[in-house]
Structure 1
Amino acid sequence: MIKNFWRKTALAASLLSSAFIVSAADSNEKIKQAVEERVGLAVEKILPSPVSGLSAVLTNRGLFYVSNDGSFFIHGQMYDMDKGMANYSENILTDVRKQGLKDFSGQMISYKAKDEKYQINVFTDITCGYCRKMHKQIEEYNALGITVNYLAFPRNGINSKSFSDMVSVWCADDEQQALTDAKLHGDVKQKQCKNPVKDQYEFGQQVGVSGTPAVLLQDGQLVPGYRPPADMLKILQG
């Protein structure tokens, strides 16, 4: 009698678990279909959120929240008031940014500090005034022990002249010199090759970059805008 009870209980639990998995899969499919067909964004990952009936959806253009029936689409930050206003959205994006840095390792244009203490990863555009100002101070950043790694972010998109010029920079035999020449002198020698410019630009869009320069720290924190060398050092020192 007791054995039969536990067998039935285990069977019921198994059926409930299977039903939940099917339900979750159905919900994710509804969300994916709604976002891709009705909003026009590519869904890369769907995650559960702390709010019942709502899922976090990572797309090619950033993080959004969608109701599990695919009816409501929400753009904005989610904060947990029970945890001191912890930014749930930022926590998700931090992990995505750190993974992106691993994925683009060796594909950034780096200006290394001789006595390296820190690294910063900078989304940059060769036509951006503050990007040029920052680049003029590369030696000052390096002197403070800060290595600067550049990621491409042509602000006008993948069909712009800036995009094709940045492809040429990333394809140059001497990438560092080519980037310096492009930023400080407007001198770009056109060249084509397999390059990460499009992927880096789309990565920036995904993780919250809306302008240049934007500094991505090794811990996944995104620091928008230009920071002079001394100010950047203070940020890195915490």
Structure 2
Amino acid sequence: MKKFSYLAVMAACLSTGLAAQAVLPEVNKAFSEVGLTVKAVADSTVPGMLQVQTDKGLFFMSDNKQYLFEGNIYDLKNKKLVNEDILKDIRKAGVKDFDGSVIEFKAADEKYVIHVFTDTSCGYCRKLHNEMADLNKAGITVRYLAFPRGGIQSATYDELQSIWCAKDAKQALTDAKNGKAVKQASCQNNVAQQYELGQSFGINGTPALILPDGRLIPGYQPAAALVATLSQNAS
């Protein structure tokens, strides 16, 4: 997997100022103590805070390095979610780096491309997949990325690896989502890296949909609602 564009965009979105650069060792130490790995640090648009991209998503930290904030911050003046404003470009670049290894269900008359982090044991993932014909008919191409909710030691991680290594990965994925057994297969794959990417976006459940503009929709959306969301965004 090529990481250049993802890291380059992350660096641009979290452009490290002198203040952030000076405290980087302290930030790394503080985050490591709570089990998080720092990927980038920047001076935040929120006064008195640093913004820190980690392997488990975006966090904010007080300038005195005493307080760690997890959750959404809303900019009342500009009427926007600060977290989303930071993460949209990072997500777009991140999924693009995996476009050579997704399992794609392509629309004949493609209007939109969405990326979906999926797990074979997830009921709502199956529900979304059952609407694939409607999604494709509406011009939505779906590119699947693996996200074994139980982690890389889980049975679904092994199953997802077999699916990504299958001769016909699309059919294997469809079979798994229909409750059919998947033939065990092995190959060089980046299922673990896809899972780690999802975690770095703050994803902790499936399905998780990344829209063309980088927005994240956590959870299932009916095909009609998803079409309406994409159409509204395009207009």
Q: What are the ranges of 5 or more consecutive residues in structure 2 without an aligned counterpart?
A: 1-16
Identity %: 46
Which of structures 1 and 2 has the bigger CA Rg?
1
- Find 2:76's aligned residue among 71, 75, 81: 81
Structure with greater contact order relative to length (CA < 8 Å, sep ≥ 6):
2
TM-score (norm 2): 0.86
Does residue 49 of the first structure (1) align with residue 65 of the second (2)?
no
User: 2:175 is matched with which residue?
Assistant: 181
Q: Write out aligned runs for 1:158-173 (5 A).
A: 158-173=152-167
Q: 1:206 aligns with which of 179, 200, 207?
A: 200
3-state SS in 2 of match to 1:66: strand
After TM superposition, give the deviation of residue 126 of structure 1 in Å.
0.5
Give the SS at the match of 2:77: helix
What residue number does 2:29 align with?
A: 33
Matches within 5 A, 1:218-229: 218-229=212-223
Aligned to 2:104: 110
| Aligned mates of 2:180, 2:206 — CA distance in 1 | 17
Describe the SS at the equivalent of 2:23. Answer: helix
Does the 8 Å contact 1:30/1:68 carry over to 2? no
Find the aligned partners of 2:29 and 2:48 in 1 and give their Cα distance: 17
- The 3-state SS of whatever aligns with 1:100 is helix
Q: Deviations over 1:39-68 (max 9, x none)?
A: 111100001112344210000001111123
SS of the aligned residue for 1:39 comes to coil
Q: Residue type matched to 1:47 in 2?
A: A
TM-score normalised by structure 1 residue count: 0.85
1:217 aligned partner, one-letter code: L
Aligned residue pairs total: 216
Q: CA RMSD in A?
A: 1.6
CA contact (8 A) 2:21 2:41 kept: no
Gaps of 5+ in 1: 1-19
1:24: Cα distance to partner?
A: 4.3
